[in-house]
Amino acid sequence: MEKTELVFIPAPGSGHFFSAIEFANLLVERDQRLSITVLVMKFPEKVTTTKLASASHSNLSFIELPHVEPPPRELMFKSMEKYVTDFIDSHRTCVKDAIVNHVLPNSHNLFGFVVDLFCSSMIDVANEVGLPSYVFYPGGACSLAFMLHVLHRHDRVGREFQESESESKSIVPGYINPIPVNFLPALVFNKEGGYNCFVNLGRRLQESKGIIVNTFQDLESHVISSLISTYHDLSPIYTVGPLINHKIDQSPMQSKNDHDEIMKWLDEQPESSVVFLCFGSAGCFGVPQLKEIALGLERSGHRFLWSIRIASEDIFKPIENIEHKTILPEGFLDRTRGRGFICGWAPQVKVLGHKAVRGFVSHCGWNSILESLWFGVPILTWPQYAEQQLNAFELVKELGLAFELKLDSRMFSDEIVKGDEIAKAVKCLMEEDSEVRKRVKDMSVKSRKALITGGSSYATVGHWIETMLAGN
C-alpha cells in the first residue's frame, strides 16, 4: 500500500515539540495509509531522534536539521517570542533543502505540511514546493481566541497594548468574562518585537488550510463555537486533544536513579496526600521567592514533592543541580524530613498519575493543564510566561476548574508571593470535597472519552484525515 506522507515541522521547545510528536503518533496509529517525517531543530533544547524514535511509531521518521546560529543573545532578554521566531525563521533554507534533497526523492505521495504556530513562516516553503499547510496550535482555544482578538484589534489601533489602557478590561470574543489588562500576557505590551511577532503569527493562521488545536469540545465548547461564529474567514478548526505524551517522560539530562528515587518516595506516601509543585521546562524563581514557597509548604502541613529550579543567565536552562540547604530557610529540610521531597526535574506525567498526588501547583502551561485534567488533579495557578496568564484566567474564571493563587504573576517580576498566602492556597487546594475538585474529576472522564471511538476528538481526527486526503 502506497503511503501518504506528511512533513511535520514542530517548534523546538519541549512544550510544543512533544505535543506535535504525540499528534503525529496518533495519526500513524489511526490510519496505516499515513507516514510522517519530522524535521527537528536543535535549539534551544537538543532533542535526539534516537530517543524519540524508540518511543514512536515505525511510520514516523526524523531528520535533524543542520545547526543554525541563534540570534544575538541580548534579543532573548528583550523579547523571547521574537528570539525564538527569528531563530526558527533562519531555518527556512535548510528546511527546503531537507524537503527537496531528502523527503521528495524518497516519497511518491507527499501530501502536505503540518507546522507549529511558531514555524508558520515555513508555509512559504510549502508554497514553493506546491503543497498545502496546516498549522498545529499547541495551546488551547481560549488563547487562540485572544490571538485573533489582538490581530483584529491591531487592524483598528495599530499598536501594542498599554499598561495604562483607558479601558481596564479587554472584551475578547470567546471569553465569557472581560479580561483585566494586568492579566494579559507580557508579550502584548512588548515594544522590542514581541507584540509584532504575535500579530504576524496570527496573520499566518489565515494562510493555512486548517488550524489543529490541542483541546477537546467538552473543555472549550463555548470558545470554539464563538470563534466559528465570530471569524467567518477563519481557516477550519480541528480539535484533536488532549494530546498527552505518556511514553517520553524522562529528561535526557536526568539519570534513571533520580527518576526512580522520586517514584519510590511517592510509592511510600499515603493515597491522595501529596501536593506537587512544578513550573515547566523554563519555569524558575529567585532565592527570595523559593524561601517563601518553603515557608508556605511548611505552614500548610501537607506532604509535598517540589521541583526546584533557579533562574540563570540562559533563560532556556534554569539551574537544577542546587545545594538546597544553601537557598532554603535554615532548618527547613530537617523540619520537613519525611513529608517533603525536593528534586530538579520531575517526571510530570507519571507524578500526576500517581495515586499519592492530590494537588498541583502549576505555571499553567497548556500541556500541564491537559495532563492534570486527564488525571483529575486540581491545579493551584501560578502563571509565569507566554500565554499562561490567559490559561490561568480561563481555568479559574471561565471554567471553574482550578484554584487561584495568582493570575497575573510573571517570571522575573519583583513581586514576592508570601509564605502565608501560599500556605492558605495550598490548604484550599487540598480540601476534601470542593466543587472545583468535583468538576475536575468530571472533566477527567470527559477528556478520556474525547479520544476513544465515538468521542469528539476521535471523530475530528478522522474527519481531518479524510478532508486532507481529499485535498479539501
Q: Which tens digits make up the pLDDT trace of 392-407?
A: 999 999 999 999 999 9
Question: H or E stretch including 422?
Answer: helix 419-429
Q: Return all residues near 414 (Cβ < 8 A) that are at least 6 apart.
A: none
pLDDT of residue 50: 44
| pLDDT at 185 exceeding the cut of 90 | yes
8-state DSSP, 330 = T
Instruction: List pLDDT tens digits, range 398-435.
Output: 999 999 999 998 887 889 999 999 999 999 999 988 99
Mean pLDDT of the chain: 91
| Torsion of Cα atoms, 154 then 157 then 220 then 465, to 10° | -20
List domains and CATH numbers for the chain. 4-241+453-469 (3.40.50.2000), 256-447 (3.40.50.2000)
Strand blocks (E) in 363-416: 379-381, 402-404
Confidence of residue 49 (pLDDT cuts 50, 70, 90): very low
DSSP SS3 for 27: helix
Tell me if 89 sits within 8 A of 71, measured CB to CB. no
Tell me if 22 sits within 8 A of 38, measured CB to CB. no
Tell me if 380 sits within 8 A of 425, measured CB to CB. yes
| pLDDT at 54 exceeding the cut of 80 | no
pLDDT of residue 214: 98
| pLDDT at 327 exceeding the cut of 60 | yes
Tell me if 213 sits within 8 A of 316, measured CB to CB. no
Q: What would the mean pLDDT of 336-351 be, rounded to a whole number?
A: 94
Q: What is the Cα Rg of the chain in Å?
A: 22
Q: State how far the Cα of 346 lies from the Cα of 249, in Å rounded to an integer.
A: 9
Helices first, then strands: H and E counts in the chain: 18, 15
pLDDT of residue 372: 98
Phi, psi of 298 (to 5 degrees): -65, -45
Largest CA distance in the chain: 66
The x, y and z cell numbers of residue 154, run together, are: 491591531
| pLDDT at 47 exceeding the cut of 60 | no
Question: Percent of the chain having pLDDT more than 90?
Answer: 78
Instruction: List pLDDT tens digits, range 118-173.
Output: 999 999 999 999 999 999 999 999 999 999 999 999 999 999 998 776 556 789 99
pLDDT of residue 77: 87
pLDDT of residue 314: 64
| pLDDT at 94 exceeding the cut of 80 | yes
pLDDT of residue 410: 86
Q: What would the mean pLDDT of 283-288 be, rounded to a whole number?
A: 87
Query: Residue type at 132?
Result: P
Question: How big, in percent rounded to 5, are the helix, strand and coil portions of the chain?
Answer: 45, 15, 40
Question: H or E stretch including 39?
Answer: strand 34-40
Look-up: residue for cell 480539535?
Answer: 239
pLDDT of residue 248: 60
- DSSP string of 263-289, one letter each residue: HHHHHTSPTT-EEEEE-TTT--B-HHH
Instruction: List pLDDT tens digits, range 5-16.
Output: 999 999 998 889
Confidence of residue 217 (pLDDT cuts 50, 70, 90): very high
* Count of other CB atoms within 10 angstroms of residue 246: 12
End-to-end C-alpha distance for the chain, whole angstroms: 22
Q: What is the pTM of this model?
A: 0.95
pLDDT of residue 266: 98
| pLDDT at 56 exceeding the cut of 80 | no
Q: What would the mean pLDDT of 76-94 be, rounded to a whole number?
A: 94
Q: What would the mean pLDDT of 215-231 be, rounded to a whole number?
A: 97
